[in-house]
Structure 1
């Protein structure tokens, strides 16, 4: 089964970690509009696409015990100019400048780590996300979008027209299933659908089942107050077709985790009312703690989520052909 997974950073890499040993032909299509942290600095200084999300997903498909995958993950913690840069980001930037192509750099990095599957940037151009809000304001760039919490996003677009990589279009056209999310609704998932050729290719591939893996929590700056149906509606708005399935979490995080998220005005993604049979609910929740951030995180359990997705692909999607 040829499966395409579309998204950005943490959410997409979580899904890939769970699926990589399931006998699927996996291709990750990754957003390139990130402007924060190490990626943002590299983008600004070297004028190359941000490597961070791509790096995360290459590592997710690498062998867990690989020394090279650990090297790509290593982040400097000095007081100098390398502080908070990851080795993988620097290697991808160097390969881009050596080859003159971000796509070639990603292919070389995938070869170095001998990953199970493919990782493709959605395009090679430097692009930015532009958000239009209910209060009439317009905000440019992911970093600034994440800071605005006093109005709701009405629509998004890219700052320029760009075409998806030919390989991205080819992979989508041959897919048996397309997975969207989890991840930041606009800045990780929908940003890919704004690149010319992506949504069109998904719509044109009639055999491919289109599955949205919904976020567990809403996100400040993007989806405050969004219900599960709101998330789905926005995905379908930019996809320009209906989803076949929506895989959603049905378990509330512990009270201390909910309180931690509430301080950021974030809450569980829940249905507003009765939903149709496309919506499939499971206990997907895993609470994680990261060294760089003491706050607990409500994430998708990669093993459980992968099991549900493979069952869905095997029992539903392909039995309907």
Structure 2
């Protein structure tokens, strides 16, 4: 073999190594690259109770922390309802306690004394009736007077029965049905009190999470109903990326996989994240990330939690995702 032929073979071999090495590298890079979009959750906030807006403390673009006060309602009518509910509970507690404990011993003794008095009155009425009956027989008095005395005796007898029944009821205490009704009324009053207390607490609208106020829909003095939208809040945590993995690459992105995230607005400075969810169902590539070659490809949606997100990541921003493995 002459030197010229040997040189041609060497050059061809070197070219093959370079070509296949470059192809393999590009293929590996392609196999670990997927595309998606930033997904930032939003929260719609409103008062759970209605009333007049007394104060608005934030505006669009304000950065808030979880628990920060956003707005307040006028609490005067709510406090009035609270005081009324508190007084109602106090009255029913006193009545309910009395019904459970029964009548006082003093009341029972007083009822017994009334029975004794009624018995004495009846005995006296019986004597008067006997005396008047004897006088009528001797024609020493009139039948009309006898009828009056008999009527008085009947009234004394009825009064004795009434006082005896009252004394018996006081000794037995309240009926179980009356106590159950009192318990139910007290429970209802306490529920109304809890609702009044909650309404006062709900007059202060707070941020549910760290975020940025996107829209403000109320002003001081505005009358709002329960559930009226007051603010839209863009949550700063968590920030996710929704990406789509072709089936051949699915094994490279199991849950827990560490990835890098690149955006056009920050070239050369990738974000970092972790795959937190892999959809069990395939779907067609979304139009927001599809290329001509991928329009009919089935992919699996994954969700990547961004670990070092900042304010440069905006809703819907396209992202290139690469596996760090």
Give the TM interval when normalised to the shorter protein. under 0.3
Normalised by the size of structure 1, how large is the TM-score?
Answer: 0.19
**Structure possessing the higher relative contact order (Cα contacts under 8 Å, 6 or more residues apart):** 2
Structure with more of its chain in helix, by fraction = 2
Q: Whose strand fraction is larger, Structure 1's or Structure 2's?
A: 2
Structure showing greater Rg: 2
In the superposition, the TM-score normalised over structure 2's length comes to: 0.18
